[in-house]
Structure 1
Amino acid sequence: MKKRKIEIMDTTLRDGEQTSGVSFSAPEKLTIAKLLIEELHVDRIEIASARVSEGEFEAVKNITKWAKTHDHLDKIEILTFVDKGQSINWMKRAGATVQNLLTKGSLNHLTHQLKKTPEQHFSEIKETIELAKKEGIVSNVYLEDWSNGMRNSEDYVFQFLDFLTKQSVARILLPDTLGILTPSETYKYFSKITTKYPNIHFDFHAHNDYDLGVANVMEGIKAGAKGLHLTVNGMGERAGNAPLASVVAVVNDFFKNEVEISVKETALYSVSKLIETFSGFRIPVNKPIVGENVFTQTAGIHADGDNKNNLYFNDLMPNRFGRKRKYALGKTSGKANIEKNLQELGLALNNEDLKKVTQRIIELGDKKELVTKEDLPYIISDVLHNNLYEERITIESYVLTHSKGLKPSTTVAVKIDGELYEEHAQGDGQFDAFMNALNKLYTKKNMVLPKLVDYAVRIPPGSNSDALCETIITWKTNEKQFITRGLDSDQTVSAIKATKKMLNI
């Protein structure tokens, strides 16, 4: 059976830009247009509304100029209005050749917003379409509020469609403008229309107010839609539009024997991230396909199952979308999670050491510390070096103060062979004050501290300010020089941990 081709029309640059607080610059719009067409391979893009602003006009001119030189001009669409040719003139000056004409798809909108009869509206639409044809502009027609039109004024919708199917129209665009449809309604309404007009190209434009956008798109496909309107990251007014990445995955997995689309899956994530940066519209970490966490296994049992026979994989394999599977490290981690991360780093541990490292990661997770794969070598070093000496000295408690205009100070309580000692000192920094307090305490005990000869702090490559940091301190006595390491998310605390190891060594 021959597959039905479904056109993907991306409206990120028009409907998506109606996301509250989002405004793309002209260079950003051009970059996004190029990515959508040449990287993602969408069939069409809706890039602007006519007559909005001078900045929008310049952005459209940039895109149409590029599209014309790359043979993509027929893929560039502009939202226009029934306005006695003003939108058509705007398009001509901007170099665009495809209009998506906004009309009224419900009697409610027609009578209360335009205050016109169907006949008056149809007459003005006909004039606009004929003018567009005369100017070499292809016309698609939006039936705004079509979903409410089918619910409350179905006769009007079919009267309108009878009229439109006799006009010079390439596509009829059916939007669920307010995102009110249920999946069963979408199938029912779309089927009625595609059954009556089997040779007409109908697009479905879903909004996501009830989080049913993707489900409604599925029903639209079943009912014969020949085109889908989507946005990157589900951007759009209110709760946004049906998201491109999710719909592409759904179509490829659940309709692969019936329909085909041209979108390149492997480019979805990279384009999504770039548009996140340009828009400032953050992608939820659990958003399907493009969210940061959606290919991350957290529970240890899942990693164990993946080790044994990929038991926790589904068809949404990360490599399809240019991504990698990750295994989170935290309080729910098991040995399998850690082994997966160690494999990626090319490291191996025996069972006993693996248990110790697992326990340390669980402890960090309980403290809400963020643990990454890059932290693992530092954690391993910290845990395995802990057992090289007998712990006779413990730092029971300390208070670190740092105030503007005052020298940093530390009060520290240290237990040596079961006996508690306390001292207070100031210094040039918190750690210097800590060391001065220790020095005072050791002097009273007629003990001598090693000399600190080098102090280095590092965090894993690519980490953020909340990363675990490792402090490496080199100490020198009369007999030898040695190094201790401390690991914590707080730099001063990690230095104190390194110092405690020194005291015991």
Structure 2
Amino acid sequence: FGKCWDMHVTEILGASLDENLKMIEEICRYFAENDRLVIFDAEHFFDGYKRNPDYAVSAVRAAVKGGARCAALCDTNGGMFPDETAEAVRHIASLFPNTVTGIHCHNDGGMAVANSIMAVKAGVSHVQGTFLGFGERCGNASLSAIIPNLQLKCGYACIPKENMRLLTGTARSIAETANISLRKNEPYVGLSAFAHKAGMHADGVLKNSVSFEHIEPETVGNERRFLMSEMSGRTAVTEKIQKFTDKIDRDSPKVYDIIKQLKRLEHLGYQFEGAEASFELLVRRELETVTPSFELVSYRVLDENPYEDGHSATATLKIKAGGQTRIAAADGDGPVNALDLALRNALLPFYPQLEKVHLIDYKVRVMDPKQATGAVVRVLITSADGDNIWTTVGVSSDVIEASWIALVDSIEYRLNCVK
């Protein structure tokens, strides 16, 4: 890479403008003469182009003269607008018709994806980015959005057509490997990318999916979701239930029972819009198509302060599973972590598939702050096993009990509902 903004050359590098151009040309020539394909990242190109266009162009010209086959124009500070990006790209592409023009955008202004797409439309054929937009500050342009936008909307061939269905699964695998939570509202691949709440949106999608969806979710390996609440109508609830069984229709008595149960639980503080795994378990329990994988006899949690070795809590529990009674204990970073580890220790001999399951997110919401420390809390636990991500919910005035309810649902969902 090389600097294309004169201010960076003189104030940051401490070089003269001519020295910088010579360095760019010489390093490109060195790699080209050693049989390397040279891609020149024109760093701070757009900021330099706006302030001193002649010098920014000179930096690209030096790279091309040195043997660069591609000049990737960088919006390093991430502040460009799509129309500005397209105009600059169009100019550079016209000046260097025999050189591949590329684009490298940061997302500080929230426009990295838009800038990248406009750059392609203006003549770019080389796009740099990162999956899910990983990168410094606000991140780089997200390839998980750029790829489907360019291929599905603009007709550009980016990846093999059959691989487009792998997009969501790939995003989830990358997020898990990076030990981050995939944003639910991540375009195309997020859990909420094709989620609809009961009402006009849900009703419209059920009648014609294009009414509220820009593509079929299966195209990118995602799926349509209907968010359940006490406001859900029979049609939306039935559509959701029919994912689990084909023996239920809109007028089935069980649908009324499930809606009644939804209303009862939401009155207690439950909310299933972000906890679809708990909703599925609720349905399966009402339909009597799921049996408990274990039974809790008792648990006890001890919190210590001060503590050593990073373990502030100890949990012991007794369960019944597989016709046996097991007692297990574990130290953890807090009472919920200790309880989680103890439960896994107890269950692994019966269910070795739980070895791959781990918690990736834990949230607590106080339902009525006026009740202070005696308030009812809602706990959301998100779990993953490498291939699947699911969220469960628990509610209680005791945060440990609420966590236990969500934790049990997480385990039961993996054992009973994940194929």
Question: Considering the TM-score relative to the shorter chain, is it more than 0.5?
Answer: yes
Match of 1:63 in 2: none
Amino acid at match of 1:223: A
Q: Separation in 1 of the partners of 2:110 and 2:403? A: 39
Amino acid at match of 2:270: K
Give CA deviations for 1:76-121 in whole Å, capped at 9, x if unaligned: xxxxxxxxxxxxxxxxxxxxxxxxxx11011011111122222212
| Shift in CA distance, 379/188, structure 1 to aligned 2, threshold 3 Å | same
Match of 2:171 in 1: 272
Give CA deviations for 1:373-411 in whole Å, capped at 9, x if unaligned: 2320224569xxxxxxxxxxxxxxxxxxx897xxxxxxx
Match of 1:283 in 2: 182
**Shift of residue 127, structure 1, vs aligned partner:** 2.6
Match of 1:114 in 2: 13
Match of 1:358 in 2: 259
**Shift of residue 184, structure 1, vs aligned partner:** 1.4
Give CA deviations for 1:325-349 in whole Å, capped at 9, x if unaligned: 2222223422122111221222315
Does the CA-based 8 Å contact 1:147-1:176 persist in structure 2? yes
Amino acid at match of 2:209: N
Q: Separation in 1 of the partners of 2:288 and 2:68? A: 70
**Shift of residue 247, structure 1, vs aligned partner:** 0.8
Match of 1:150 in 2: 49
Q: Does 1:378 align with 2:279?
A: no
Give CA deviations for 1:468-501 in whole Å, capped at 9, x if unaligned: 79xxxxxxxxxxxxxxxxxx9976xx9xxxxxxx
**Aligned counterpart in structure 1 of residue 270 of structure 2, from 368, 393, 397:** 368
Q: Separation in 2 of the partners of 1:306 and 1:252? A: 24
**Shift of residue 134, structure 1, vs aligned partner:** 3.4
**Shift of residue 286, structure 1, vs aligned partner:** 0.9
Q: Separation in 2 of the partners of 1:290 and 1:191? A: 31
Match of 1:348 in 2: 248
Q: Separation in 1 of the partners of 2:165 and 2:210? A: 24
Match of 2:311 in 1: none
**Aligned counterpart in structure 1 of residue 148 of structure 2, from 246, 249, 253:** 249
Amino acid at match of 1:115: G
Q: Does 1:213 align with 2:112?
A: yes
Q: Separation in 2 of the partners of 1:363 and 1:261? A: 49
Does the CA-based 8 Å contact 1:231-1:243 persist in structure 2? yes
**Aligned counterpart in structure 1 of residue 83 of structure 2, from 162, 166, 184:** 184
Tell me the percent identity. Answer: 21
Amino acid at match of 1:348: I
Q: Does 1:260 align with 2:157?
A: yes
Does the CA-based 8 Å contact 2:24-2:59 persist in structure 1? no
**Shift of residue 144, structure 1, vs aligned partner:** 0.9
Does the CA-based 8 Å contact 1:175-1:204 persist in structure 2? yes
Q: Which structure: larger Rg?
A: 1
Give TM-score, length-normalised by structure 1. 0.54
RMSD: 3.3
Q: Separation in 2 of the partners of 1:221 and 1:133? A: 26
| Shift in CA distance, 296/232, structure 1 to aligned 2, threshold 3 Å | same
| Shift in CA distance, 468/241, structure 1 to aligned 2, threshold 3 Å | closer
**Shift of residue 206, structure 1, vs aligned partner:** 0.9
Q: Separation in 2 of the partners of 1:403 and 1:324? A: 39
Describe the SS at the equivalent of 2:243. Answer: helix
| Shift in CA distance, 121/318, structure 1 to aligned 2, threshold 3 Å | same
Give CA deviations for 1:171-222 in whole Å, capped at 9, x if unaligned: 1111100101011111121122112222321100011111111111121112
Does the CA-based 8 Å contact 2:49-2:56 persist in structure 1? yes
| Shift in CA distance, 297/133, structure 1 to aligned 2, threshold 3 Å | same
Amino acid at match of 1:358: I
Q: Which runs of 5+ in 1 are unaligned?
A: 1-101, 383-401, 405-427, 430-460, 470-487, 495-505
Q: Which runs of 5+ in 2 are unaligned?
A: 273-277, 290-299, 303-316, 319-353, 360-379, 382-391, 395-401, 409-419
Give CA deviations for 1:229-286 in whole Å, capped at 9, x if unaligned: 1111111001101111111121123311xx3322531221222112111212322111
Q: Does 1:173 align with 2:72?
A: yes
Q: Where does 1:303-318 land on structure 2 (aligned, <5 Å)?
A: 303-310=202-209, 312-318=211-217
| Shift in CA distance, 134/166, structure 1 to aligned 2, threshold 3 Å | closer
**Shift of residue 300, structure 1, vs aligned partner:** 4.1
Does the CA-based 8 Å contact 2:105-2:141 persist in structure 1? yes
Q: Which stretch shows the higher mean deviation, 155-164 or 278-287?
A: 155-164
Does the CA-based 8 Å contact 1:333-1:362 persist in structure 2? no
**Shift of residue 313, structure 1, vs aligned partner:** 4.6
Give TM-score, length-normalised by structure 2. 0.64
**Shift of residue 322, structure 1, vs aligned partner:** 1.7
Q: Which has the higher contact order (CA 8 A, sep 6+)?
A: 1
Does the CA-based 8 Å contact 1:186-1:219 persist in structure 2? yes
Amino acid at match of 2:109: Y
Q: Separation in 2 of the partners of 1:378 and 1:308? A: 29
Does the CA-based 8 Å contact 1:298-1:332 persist in structure 2? no
Q: Separation in 2 of the partners of 1:219 and 1:179? A: 15
| Shift in CA distance, 238/152, structure 1 to aligned 2, threshold 3 Å | same
Does the CA-based 8 Å contact 1:289-1:321 persist in structure 2? yes
Does the CA-based 8 Å contact 1:103-1:144 persist in structure 2? yes
Q: Does 1:227 align with 2:126?
A: yes
Q: Does 1:320 align with 2:227?
A: no
